[in-house]
Amino acid sequence: MSGFRVLEPGVLSLFQDAGRLGHHALGLTTGGPMDGAAFYWANRLAGNPEGATALEVAQGGLRLECIGDTSVAVAGAAMPLKINDQTKALWRSHRMTAGDVLELGHATAGLRTYVAAADGFEAPVYFGSTAVVRREGLGKPLHAGQELVCGASTDTDWALPMDQIPRCEATVTLRVVEGYQAAEFSAESRGLFYRSAFQVSPRSDRMGYRLEGNAVAAPAGERFSEGIAYGAVQVPPDGQPIVLLNDRQTIGGYPKLGTVLSLDCWKLVQCVPGAKVCFEVISLEAAQAAVEEFTATREATALKRST
Protein backbone atom coordinates (compact mmCIF):
# COMPACT_ATOMS: atom_id res chain seq x y z
CA MET A 1 0.00 0.00 0.00
CA SER A 2 1.34 3.41 -0.95
CA GLY A 3 0.94 6.14 1.57
CA PHE A 4 2.02 7.82 4.76
CA ARG A 5 1.66 7.78 8.49
CA VAL A 6 1.06 11.14 10.12
CA LEU A 7 3.81 11.85 12.67
CA GLU A 8 2.69 15.44 13.33
CA PRO A 9 -0.48 16.85 11.79
CA GLY A 10 0.66 20.49 11.78
CA VAL A 11 -1.39 23.48 12.85
CA LEU A 12 -4.35 22.60 10.63
CA SER A 13 -4.13 20.13 7.77
CA LEU A 14 -7.26 19.20 5.85
CA PHE A 15 -8.19 17.00 2.92
CA GLN A 16 -9.52 19.17 0.15
CA ASP A 17 -10.75 18.43 -3.35
CA ALA A 18 -12.43 20.80 -5.80
CA GLY A 19 -15.18 21.40 -3.23
CA ARG A 20 -18.73 20.33 -2.48
CA LEU A 21 -20.85 21.72 -5.27
CA GLY A 22 -24.60 21.61 -5.79
CA HIS A 23 -25.75 21.25 -2.18
CA HIS A 24 -26.28 24.84 -1.09
CA ALA A 25 -30.02 24.16 -0.87
CA LEU A 26 -29.28 21.95 2.15
CA GLY A 27 -27.25 24.71 3.72
CA LEU A 28 -23.96 23.02 2.84
CA THR A 29 -21.03 25.24 1.99
CA THR A 30 -18.48 24.39 -0.70
CA GLY A 31 -15.22 23.95 1.17
CA GLY A 32 -12.37 23.23 -1.23
CA PRO A 33 -8.85 24.63 -1.48
CA MET A 34 -8.44 28.20 -0.25
CA ASP A 35 -5.67 28.82 -2.80
CA GLY A 36 -7.05 27.35 -6.02
CA ALA A 37 -3.83 28.10 -7.94
CA ALA A 38 -1.41 26.33 -5.61
CA PHE A 39 -3.82 23.39 -5.30
CA TYR A 40 -3.96 23.12 -9.10
CA TRP A 41 -0.16 23.06 -9.43
CA ALA A 42 0.35 20.56 -6.62
CA ASN A 43 -1.99 18.13 -8.34
CA ARG A 44 -0.62 18.72 -11.79
CA LEU A 45 2.98 18.28 -10.64
CA ALA A 46 1.95 15.02 -8.98
CA GLY A 47 0.47 13.86 -12.28
CA ASN A 48 -3.07 13.97 -10.93
CA PRO A 49 -6.32 15.02 -12.56
CA GLU A 50 -7.58 18.47 -11.59
CA GLY A 51 -9.42 18.41 -8.27
CA ALA A 52 -7.81 15.24 -6.88
CA THR A 53 -7.83 15.14 -3.07
CA ALA A 54 -4.74 16.85 -1.62
CA LEU A 55 -3.73 18.10 1.81
CA GLU A 56 -4.15 21.76 2.61
CA VAL A 57 -1.52 22.56 5.23
CA ALA A 58 -2.15 25.83 7.04
CA GLN A 59 0.87 27.50 8.65
CA GLY A 60 2.93 24.30 8.53
CA GLY A 61 4.29 21.91 11.11
CA LEU A 62 3.42 18.73 9.16
CA ARG A 63 5.52 15.57 9.40
CA LEU A 64 4.69 12.46 7.42
CA GLU A 65 6.44 9.10 7.27
CA CYS A 66 6.18 7.25 4.00
CA ILE A 67 4.87 3.68 4.52
CA GLY A 68 4.72 2.67 0.84
CA ASP A 69 6.48 4.13 -2.21
CA THR A 70 4.78 7.05 -3.85
CA SER A 71 5.40 10.55 -5.25
CA VAL A 72 4.38 13.89 -3.84
CA ALA A 73 4.32 17.46 -5.08
CA VAL A 74 4.26 20.46 -2.77
CA ALA A 75 3.09 23.93 -3.82
CA GLY A 76 1.91 27.08 -2.09
CA ALA A 77 3.18 29.23 0.77
CA ALA A 78 6.92 29.23 1.47
CA MET A 79 7.23 26.43 4.03
CA PRO A 80 10.68 24.87 4.36
CA LEU A 81 10.36 21.37 2.91
CA LYS A 82 12.69 18.60 3.99
CA ILE A 83 12.80 14.97 3.05
CA ASN A 84 15.00 12.96 5.41
CA ASP A 85 16.44 16.26 6.67
CA GLN A 86 17.51 17.27 3.16
CA THR A 87 16.10 20.60 2.01
CA LYS A 88 13.91 20.19 -1.06
CA ALA A 89 12.21 22.58 -3.43
CA LEU A 90 8.53 23.41 -3.55
CA TRP A 91 6.69 23.57 -6.88
CA ARG A 92 8.02 20.22 -8.02
CA SER A 93 7.41 16.54 -7.39
CA HIS A 94 9.52 14.22 -5.28
CA ARG A 95 9.80 10.44 -5.15
CA MET A 96 9.13 8.97 -1.69
CA THR A 97 10.30 5.55 -0.49
CA ALA A 98 9.01 3.67 2.54
CA GLY A 99 10.72 5.04 5.63
CA ASP A 100 11.31 8.52 4.18
CA VAL A 101 10.17 11.37 6.39
CA LEU A 102 8.66 14.46 4.80
CA GLU A 103 8.63 17.60 6.88
CA LEU A 104 6.97 20.94 6.18
CA GLY A 105 8.21 23.64 8.55
CA HIS A 106 6.40 26.80 9.49
CA ALA A 107 5.62 29.22 6.68
CA THR A 108 8.07 32.06 6.19
CA ALA A 109 5.76 33.77 3.69
CA GLY A 110 2.15 32.98 2.93
CA LEU A 111 -0.11 30.65 4.89
CA ARG A 112 -1.28 27.61 2.98
CA THR A 113 0.61 24.88 1.16
CA TYR A 114 -0.75 21.89 -0.72
CA VAL A 115 0.68 18.40 -0.61
CA ALA A 116 -0.56 16.26 -3.48
CA ALA A 117 0.31 12.58 -3.73
CA ALA A 118 0.14 10.27 -6.74
CA ASP A 119 -3.51 9.54 -7.67
CA GLY A 120 -4.71 11.75 -4.82
CA PHE A 121 -5.36 10.75 -1.21
CA GLU A 122 -8.19 8.43 -0.30
CA ALA A 123 -10.60 10.29 1.97
CA PRO A 124 -14.22 9.90 3.08
CA VAL A 125 -16.69 11.29 0.57
CA TYR A 126 -19.66 13.36 1.76
CA PHE A 127 -22.10 14.71 -0.78
CA GLY A 128 -19.75 13.86 -3.60
CA SER A 129 -16.72 15.57 -2.11
CA THR A 130 -13.84 14.88 0.24
CA ALA A 131 -13.53 18.56 1.24
CA VAL A 132 -13.28 18.77 5.03
CA VAL A 133 -15.56 21.40 6.55
CA ARG A 134 -15.16 21.31 10.32
CA ARG A 135 -18.10 23.63 10.99
CA GLU A 136 -20.41 21.14 9.28
CA GLY A 137 -18.87 18.05 10.81
CA LEU A 138 -17.92 16.75 7.36
CA GLY A 139 -14.53 15.12 7.69
CA LYS A 140 -11.84 15.80 10.26
CA PRO A 141 -8.45 17.50 10.36
CA LEU A 142 -5.41 15.27 10.14
CA HIS A 143 -4.32 13.68 13.43
CA ALA A 144 -1.12 12.01 14.59
CA GLY A 145 -1.01 8.31 13.82
CA GLN A 146 -3.49 8.54 10.95
CA GLU A 147 -2.64 6.55 7.82
CA LEU A 148 -2.97 8.25 4.47
CA VAL A 149 -3.51 6.10 1.41
CA CYS A 150 -2.54 7.22 -2.09
CA GLY A 151 -1.24 5.77 -5.36
CA ALA A 152 2.16 4.35 -6.34
CA SER A 153 5.00 6.57 -7.47
CA THR A 154 5.06 7.97 -10.97
CA ASP A 155 7.97 7.49 -13.35
CA THR A 156 8.79 11.11 -13.92
CA ASP A 157 9.42 14.06 -11.69
CA TRP A 158 8.07 17.40 -12.79
CA ALA A 159 8.81 21.00 -11.85
CA LEU A 160 7.03 24.25 -12.55
CA PRO A 161 9.23 26.70 -14.51
CA MET A 162 10.53 29.42 -12.18
CA ASP A 163 8.77 32.24 -14.00
CA GLN A 164 5.41 30.53 -13.45
CA ILE A 165 5.68 30.32 -9.68
CA PRO A 166 3.17 32.72 -8.08
CA ARG A 167 4.69 35.35 -5.80
CA CYS A 168 3.47 36.51 -2.45
CA GLU A 169 2.88 40.23 -2.66
CA ALA A 170 3.34 42.72 0.18
CA THR A 171 0.14 44.56 -0.69
CA VAL A 172 -2.60 42.63 -2.43
CA THR A 173 -5.05 44.43 -4.67
CA LEU A 174 -8.37 42.67 -4.87
CA ARG A 175 -10.47 43.26 -7.98
CA VAL A 176 -14.17 43.56 -7.19
CA VAL A 177 -17.08 42.81 -9.54
CA GLU A 178 -19.63 45.23 -8.15
CA GLY A 179 -23.09 43.85 -7.52
CA TYR A 180 -25.59 42.83 -4.87
CA GLN A 181 -26.37 46.03 -2.88
CA ALA A 182 -23.50 48.11 -4.39
CA ALA A 183 -25.95 50.76 -5.59
CA GLU A 184 -27.32 51.19 -2.06
CA PHE A 185 -23.94 52.28 -0.68
CA SER A 186 -23.41 56.04 -0.79
CA ALA A 187 -20.88 57.46 -3.23
CA GLU A 188 -18.77 58.59 -0.26
CA SER A 189 -18.64 55.20 1.38
CA ARG A 190 -17.85 53.45 -1.91
CA GLY A 191 -15.13 56.04 -2.56
CA LEU A 192 -13.67 55.43 0.88
CA PHE A 193 -13.76 51.67 0.34
CA TYR A 194 -11.72 51.85 -2.86
CA ARG A 195 -9.31 54.52 -1.55
CA SER A 196 -8.51 52.77 1.72
CA ALA A 197 -5.88 50.23 2.62
CA PHE A 198 -7.19 47.55 4.99
CA GLN A 199 -5.32 45.18 7.25
CA VAL A 200 -6.02 41.47 7.45
CA SER A 201 -7.49 40.72 10.88
CA PRO A 202 -6.22 37.79 12.97
CA ARG A 203 -9.87 36.69 13.13
CA SER A 204 -9.71 35.50 9.53
CA ASP A 205 -10.31 31.86 8.71
CA ARG A 206 -11.64 29.50 6.05
CA MET A 207 -15.09 31.07 6.36
CA GLY A 208 -13.93 34.56 5.58
CA TYR A 209 -11.20 37.16 5.75
CA ARG A 210 -12.01 40.03 8.09
CA LEU A 211 -10.41 43.34 7.24
CA GLU A 212 -9.71 46.28 9.50
CA GLY A 213 -9.48 49.91 8.44
CA ASN A 214 -11.62 52.94 7.74
CA ALA A 215 -15.23 52.16 8.57
CA VAL A 216 -17.25 51.89 5.36
CA ALA A 217 -20.78 53.10 6.03
CA ALA A 218 -23.17 50.32 5.06
CA PRO A 219 -26.71 51.07 3.92
CA ALA A 220 -29.17 50.89 6.80
CA GLY A 221 -32.35 48.85 6.97
CA GLU A 222 -33.11 45.19 7.43
CA ARG A 223 -32.93 42.80 4.54
CA PHE A 224 -33.74 39.16 4.15
CA SER A 225 -30.89 36.70 4.25
CA GLU A 226 -29.84 35.79 0.74
CA GLY A 227 -27.36 33.51 -1.02
CA ILE A 228 -23.71 34.46 -0.59
CA ALA A 229 -21.39 33.96 -3.56
CA TYR A 230 -17.72 32.98 -3.15
CA GLY A 231 -15.68 36.14 -2.62
CA ALA A 232 -18.65 38.32 -1.62
CA VAL A 233 -17.61 41.49 0.25
CA GLN A 234 -19.98 41.88 3.17
CA VAL A 235 -20.10 45.10 5.17
CA PRO A 236 -21.60 44.69 8.66
CA PRO A 237 -22.76 47.71 10.70
CA ASP A 238 -19.24 48.25 12.11
CA GLY A 239 -18.07 49.06 8.57
CA GLN A 240 -15.23 46.50 8.57
CA PRO A 241 -15.49 44.45 5.37
CA ILE A 242 -15.42 40.66 5.35
CA VAL A 243 -14.51 38.72 2.20
CA LEU A 244 -16.46 35.46 2.36
CA LEU A 245 -14.56 32.40 1.22
CA ASN A 246 -14.72 28.62 0.90
CA ASP A 247 -16.40 27.71 4.20
CA ARG A 248 -18.75 30.74 4.19
CA GLN A 249 -22.31 30.46 5.43
CA THR A 250 -24.64 29.86 2.47
CA ILE A 251 -27.02 32.72 3.32
CA GLY A 252 -26.67 36.00 5.18
CA GLY A 253 -28.33 39.35 5.54
CA TYR A 254 -25.55 41.94 5.66
CA PRO A 255 -25.25 44.30 2.69
CA LYS A 256 -22.65 43.34 0.11
CA LEU A 257 -20.69 45.64 -2.20
CA GLY A 258 -19.83 42.99 -4.74
CA THR A 259 -17.56 40.02 -5.12
CA VAL A 260 -13.78 39.64 -5.26
CA LEU A 261 -12.44 37.96 -8.38
CA SER A 262 -11.62 34.30 -7.61
CA LEU A 263 -8.03 34.71 -8.81
CA ASP A 264 -7.53 37.48 -6.25
CA CYS A 265 -9.19 35.51 -3.43
CA TRP A 266 -6.40 32.99 -3.93
CA LYS A 267 -3.87 35.75 -3.17
CA LEU A 268 -5.86 37.01 -0.20
CA VAL A 269 -5.84 33.59 1.51
CA GLN A 270 -2.04 33.62 1.56
CA CYS A 271 -2.07 36.92 3.49
CA VAL A 272 -1.12 36.78 7.15
CA PRO A 273 -2.76 38.98 9.78
CA GLY A 274 -1.58 42.56 9.39
CA ALA A 275 -1.02 42.28 5.62
CA LYS A 276 -2.29 45.21 3.56
CA VAL A 277 -5.20 44.81 1.19
CA CYS A 278 -6.74 47.28 -1.29
CA PHE A 279 -9.73 47.03 -3.58
CA GLU A 280 -10.34 48.16 -7.15
CA VAL A 281 -13.30 47.77 -9.49
CA ILE A 282 -13.27 45.36 -12.42
CA SER A 283 -16.11 45.02 -14.90
CA LEU A 284 -17.89 41.68 -15.22
CA GLU A 285 -16.60 41.31 -18.80
CA ALA A 286 -13.00 41.97 -17.77
CA ALA A 287 -13.37 39.63 -14.79
CA GLN A 288 -14.60 36.75 -16.93
CA ALA A 289 -11.89 37.44 -19.51
CA ALA A 290 -9.22 37.44 -16.78
CA VAL A 291 -10.36 34.06 -15.45
CA GLU A 292 -10.53 32.62 -18.96
CA GLU A 293 -7.03 33.85 -19.78
CA PHE A 294 -5.62 32.62 -16.48
CA THR A 295 -7.08 29.16 -17.06
CA ALA A 296 -5.86 28.97 -20.65
CA THR A 297 -2.36 30.11 -19.69
CA ARG A 298 -1.88 27.58 -16.95
CA GLU A 299 -3.23 24.77 -19.08
CA ALA A 300 -0.78 25.73 -21.82
CA THR A 301 2.15 25.87 -19.39
CA ALA A 302 4.60 23.05 -20.05
CA LEU A 303 6.09 21.46 -16.95
CA LYS A 304 9.84 20.83 -16.80
CA ARG A 305 11.09 17.29 -16.51
CA SER A 306 13.23 17.45 -13.42
CA THR A 307 14.91 14.05 -13.54
Partner 1 sequence: MPDDSMRIEVAGENALIVYLGDALSPVVADRVRWLDQQLRERLVDQLIDTVPSYASVLVIYRPDRIRMEALQEHIEEFGRATSEPMTKEEGRLVTLPVWYGTESGPDLAALAESNGLSLDEVVRRHHLRQYRVYAIGFAPGFAYLGEVDEAIARPRLATPRQHVPTGSVGIADRQTAVYPAESPGGWNLIGRCPVRMFDPLAAAPMPVGVGDRIQFEPISRSEHLELGGAP
Please answer whether residues 147 and 65 qualify as being in contact, where contact means their C-beta atoms are separated by less than 8 angstroms: no
- Smallest distance, Å, CB 251 to partner 1? 4
Please answer whether residues 248 and 232 qualify as being in contact, where contact means their C-beta atoms are separated by less than 8 angstroms: yes
- Smallest distance, Å, CB 263 to partner 1? 9
- Smallest distance, Å, CB 137 to partner 1? 7
Cα angle, residue 261 at apex, residues 276 and 266 outer, rounded to 5°: 60
- Smallest distance, Å, CB 229 to partner 1? 4
Q: Which residues bind partner 1 (CB under 8 A)?
A: 21-28, 126-127, 135-138, 177-180, 224-232, 249-252, 256, 258-259, 261-262, 284, 287-288, 291-292
Nearer to partner 1, 212 or 226 (CB): 226
- Smallest distance, Å, CB 219 to partner 1? 14
Nearer to partner 1, 103 or 178 (CB): 178
Nearer to partner 1, 78 or 229 (CB): 229
- Smallest distance, Å, CB 174 to partner 1? 12
- Smallest distance, Å, CB 286 to partner 1? 10
Nearer to partner 1, 30 or 154 (CB): 30
Say how many C-beta atoms besides its own lie within 10 A of residue 112's C-beta: 25
Nearer to partner 1, 128 or 161 (CB): 128
Nearer to partner 1, 125 or 215 (CB): 125
- Smallest distance, Å, CB 252 to partner 1? 8
Say how many C-beta atoms besides its own lie within 10 A of residue 200's C-beta: 22
Nearer to partner 1, 135 or 143 (CB): 135
Say how many C-beta atoms besides its own lie within 10 A of residue 7's C-beta: 14
Nearer to partner 1, 288 or 307 (CB): 288
